[in-house]
C-alpha cells in the first residue's frame, strides 16, 4: 500500500469521477485507474463500483475512505514537521541559565525567540554557578548556556554584555550614605559570598578585585544563591560584592552602591559546543545576536 495509491483513491472517492480526479491530481486517467486497482488488490476488497455512467463507493470503500484521509493527513503533518525541523522552525532547544544577570537578558531574548520560532520548545535549565553550565554543555545536557565568562576551551562563546559588581551593604552601614564606595574601604569588613570551589566566576572576580587593591576578603558566611546572600547582608552578617542586576530583587534593608578603585566587570556570554550543526541552535544564536548586538 503506497501513499500515491491512497491519494488516487481519495480523489476518485471524493470526485466520483475518474476524469475529474485525474485532472485534480494532474495525471492521466489510465495511471489513475491502475493505482486504484493496485490498492484494491493489496486490500483484497473492491472499493469502487464502476459503470460506464457512474462511479460509487462500496460499503468497504466508504469505511476505508475515512482511514485513508487520516493516513494522508498524518503523512502531510509528518512531512511538514520534518521540513520545519530541518529549517530550525520546530524542535527543542535546552538553554542553561546562571545567576541574577539572566533576569536582565532572558525576558528580551525569549520574547524575541518565541516570536520568531513559536513551534520550538524552549526548555530552561537554571543553575547557580557557571561551572555547572559548563559541565552541562560539555556533557550534552544543554545546547546553549547563558553564563559568566571566562568560557573554557573547547566551548565557543559570544559575549553579550559586561556587568559591574557593586557593593551590597546593610542599609544602616555608614558607607551606605555614600553615592559610591572605594573598594579599599571594605578591607576591614566581613563578607558574605558564594561558596569557594563551586565554579563561581563572580566570587573569583570579587577576590581578584580585592587583591588588586591590597586585601583578601574575609568571608564569614557563604550562600548558594544571590537571594540568600542579599538576605544575609540585610541581616548585617556582612557586606557583599554582587552583580548590579541583584538590585532587581528589591530587597528591603540593603543598599547597592557602585564600587571604585578596581575593575570589577564580569562578562556575560552565550556559549555552545563546537560542531553542533543543529538548525534550531543556529536560529537561537541568530536571534541572540540581533537582540544583543556587539
Domain ranges of the chain: 3-86, 91-160+268-291, 162-266
Question: What pLDDT, on a 0 to 100 scale, did the predictor assign at position 84?
Answer: 67
Alpha-carbon gap, residue 26 to 32, rounded angstroms: 10
* 29 contacts: CB under 8 Å, gap ≥ 6: 18, 19, 22
Torsion of CA 273, 278, 284, 285, to 10 degrees: 50
CATH number of 162-266: 3.40.190.10
Q: Give the model's confidence band at 198: pLDDT under 50 very low, under 70 low, under 90 confident, else very high.
A: low
| CB-neighbour burial class of residue 46 (10 A; exposed 0-12, middle 13-18, buried 19+) | middle
CB 8 within 8 A of CB 29: no
161-189: pLDDT as tens digits:
888 999 999 999 999 999 999 999 999 99
Whole-number Cα distances in Å, 150 to 69, 160, 181: 56, 13, 26
Per-residue pLDDT for 293 more than 70? yes
Looking at beta carbons, which pairs linking 20-28 to residues 24 or more positions away fall under 8 Å? Answer: none
CB 36 within 8 A of CB 61: no
State the cell numbers at 282. Answer: 543556529
State the cell numbers at 216. Answer: 583578601
Give bridge partners of residue 267 from the DSSP assignment.
Answer: 162
The class (CATH top level) of 91-160+268-291 is alpha beta
Question: What pLDDT, on a 0 to 100 scale, did the predictor assign at position 32?
Answer: 92
Torsion of CA 278, 284, 285, 289, to 10 degrees: 160
The class (CATH top level) of 3-86 is mainly alpha
Asked if the domains 3-86 and 162-266 are classified in one and the same CATH topology, the answer is no
CB 51 within 8 A of CB 41: no
Residue range 180-206: mean pLDDT, rounded: 90
* 225 contacts: CB under 8 Å, gap ≥ 6: 128
Alpha-carbon gap, residue 94 to 140, rounded angstroms: 10
236-278: pLDDT as tens digits:
999 999 999 888 888 899 999 999 999 999 888 999 999 888 8
Question: What pLDDT, on a 0 to 100 scale, did the predictor assign at position 101?
Answer: 63
Alpha-carbon gap, residue 14 to 30, rounded angstroms: 18
The SS3 assignment for 156 reads: strand
Residue range 142-161: mean pLDDT, rounded: 90
Q: How many helices (H) and strands (E) does the chain have?
A: 9, 12
Write down the mean pLDDT value for the chain: 90
CB 230 within 8 A of CB 246: yes
Per-residue pLDDT for 26 more than 80? yes
Residue range 14-34: mean pLDDT, rounded: 92
Torsion of CA 213, 216, 220, 223, to 10 degrees: 80
Question: What pLDDT, on a 0 to 100 scale, did the predictor assign at position 129?
Answer: 75
Question: What pLDDT, on a 0 to 100 scale, did the predictor assign at position 91?
Answer: 85
Q: Give the model's confidence band at 233: pLDDT under 50 very low, under 70 low, under 90 confident, else very high.
A: very high
Q: At what angle do helices 59-86 and 279-291 cross, to 10 degrees?
A: 50
Lowest mean pLDDT among 80-84, 93-97, 220-224, 282-286: 80-84
- Integer-rounded Cα radius of gyration of the chain: 32
Per-residue pLDDT for 20 more than 80? yes
Alpha-carbon gap, residue 284 to 289, rounded angstroms: 9
Per-residue pLDDT for 199 more than 70? no
Amino acid at each position: 500500500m503506497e501513499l500515491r495509491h491512497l491519494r488516487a483513491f481519495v480523489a476518485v472517492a471524493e470526485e466520483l469521477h475518474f476524469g475529474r480526479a485525474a485532472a485534480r491530481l494532474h495525471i492521466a486517467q489510465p495511471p489513475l485507474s491502475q493505482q486504484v486497482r493496485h490498492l484494491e488488490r493489496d486490500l483484497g476488497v473492491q472499493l469502487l463500483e464502476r459503470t460506464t455512467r457512474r462511479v460509487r463507493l462500496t460499503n468497504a470503500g466508504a469505511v476505508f475512505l475515512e482511514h485513508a484521509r487520516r493516513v494522508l493527513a498524518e503523512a502531510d503533518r509528518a512531512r511538514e514537521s520534518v521540513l520545519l525541523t530541518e529549517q530550525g522552525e520546530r524542535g527543542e532547544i535546552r538553554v542553561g541559565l546562571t545567576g541574577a544577570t539572566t533576569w536582565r537578558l532572558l525576558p528580551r531574548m525569549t520574547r524575541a525567540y518565541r516570536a520568531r520560532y513559536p513551534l520550538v520548545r524552549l526548555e530552561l535549565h537554571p543553575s547557580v554557578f557557571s561551572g555547572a553550565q559548563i559541565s552541562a554543555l560539555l556533557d550534552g545536557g544543554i545546547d546553549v548556556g547563558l553564563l559568566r565568562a571566562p568560557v573554557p576551551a573547547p566551548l565557543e562563546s559570544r559575549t553579550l554584555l559586561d556587568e559591574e559588581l557593586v557593593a551590597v551593604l546593610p542599609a544602616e552601614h555608614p558607607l551606605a550614605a555614600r553615592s559610591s564606595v572605594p573598594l579599599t574601604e571594605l578591607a576591614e569588613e566581613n563578607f558574605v559570598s558564594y561558596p569557594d570551589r563551586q565554579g563561581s566566576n563572580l566570587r573569583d572576580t570579587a577576590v581578584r578585585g580585592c587583591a588588586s587593591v591590597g586585601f583578601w576578603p574575609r568571608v564569614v558566611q557563604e550562600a548558594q544563591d544571590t537571594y540568600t546572600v542579599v538576605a544575609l547582608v540585610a541581616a548585617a552578617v556582612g557586606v557583599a560584592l554582587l552583580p548590579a542586576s541583584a538590585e532587581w530583587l528589591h530587597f528591603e534593608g540593603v543598599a547597592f552602591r557602585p564600587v571604585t578603585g578596581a575593575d570589577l566587570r564580569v562578562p556575560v556570554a552565550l556559549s555552545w559546543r563546537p560542531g553542533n550543526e543543529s538548525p534550531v541552535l543556529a536560529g537561537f544564536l541568530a536571534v541572540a545576536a540581533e537582540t544583543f548586538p556587539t
